[in-house]
Amino acid sequence: MSYIVTSSSLVSEMGSNAKEGVYPLHRSKTIHLVRHAQGTHNVAGEEDLSAYLSEDYFDAQLTPLGWQQVDNLQKHVQESGISKKIDLVVVSPLMRTMQTAAGAFGGESSTDGNDHVPPLMVANTGDSDRPAISSLNSPPFIASELCREGLGVHPCDRRRSISEYKTMFPAIDFSLIENDDDVLWAKYTTRETSEEVAARGVKFMKWLLTREENEIAVVTHSGFLYFTLREYGDDLHPTLQKEMHKFFHNCELRSVVIVDKSMIGSNTSNTDFPGNIPSGADVPSAAIN
């Protein structure tokens, strides 16, 4: 199900006489939100929460079950037609999110190395025992630190250097990331607060509105999605609010619509038609027989 995402500061209640929102199509974007598949840290953390503090799960990779989830999601996006519509994939720069994004939205697995294009993921990345994933016929991929999981304290949420990632995910664009090392995670001596994550999420949504692409997949994390989406939807029916604010399962995809109400972006319509009167002298309609 798709939703119109509106700012919680605009409307506080859903009254009985509330009107449906009508917006210019070219001021909206379809966003397919995806939580990464099951990671090794998820399994350990379900057994013992203190595992999230362990260096054993630094930049956690996908489990074998996680890869099965990715394969199922890839089948869904192909059969539903989503894969043919996506103009861009935005991914959090961590192992588990990039593995999920490449597997779900990338090209076919490649074993011969003759694609003549850089792979989205090289073979066996993260001890995955997976063949290389081609970037052929896939949308462009770009990494953004705005959609990372909560920063600080948990080694599973600390990324490797961008230099390392470039060798594992050659076709992902890392140009938006300013520092090779993970200086963002390191600056937090305590865990990033939910309010800070939400503010970062709202900033990320505004950034998406500045993009030229109209249909975007975002592969990110449960906490980031949960705290970001809770900033939106106060103008929805309570049932829809509850649906939108639910916690994401591993490898779950939900499609939403974001609307630019304040001219953040600069898109122009490809479908609107001005209906100009043809050049020449105007002829009153009453004079036309």
Q: Could you give the residue numbers annotated as active site?
A: 36, 149
Tell me whether strands 253-259 and 215-220 are parallel, antiparallel or unpaired: unpaired
Q: Two tokens at 200?
A: 């970062």
Q: How many CA atoms lie within 13 A of 260 on its CB side?
A: 21
Token duo for residue 120: 């989205």
Q: How far apart are CA 194 and CA 222, in angstroms?
A: 12
Reading the block at residue 185, the tokens are 């995670």
User: What span, in angstroms and rounded, lies between the C-alpha atoms of 123 and 221?
Assistant: 24
User: Which helix (H) or strand (E) covers residue 202, if one does?
Assistant: helix 194-210
Pairwise CA distance, residues 68 & 74, whole Å: 10
Please, what is the Cα angle at 28 between 27 and 30, to 5 degrees?
160
Whether the Cβ atoms of residue 213 and residue 88 lie closer than 8 Å to each other? yes
Spatial CB neighbours of 126, under 8 Å, sequence gap ≥ 6:
61, 62, 95, 99, 168
Indicate the burial class of 228 (C-beta count within 10 angstroms; 0-12, 13-18, 19 or more). buried
Are the C-beta atoms of residues 233 and 8 closer than 8 Å to each other? yes
Of 249, 251, 152, 144, residue with least CA distance to 204: 144
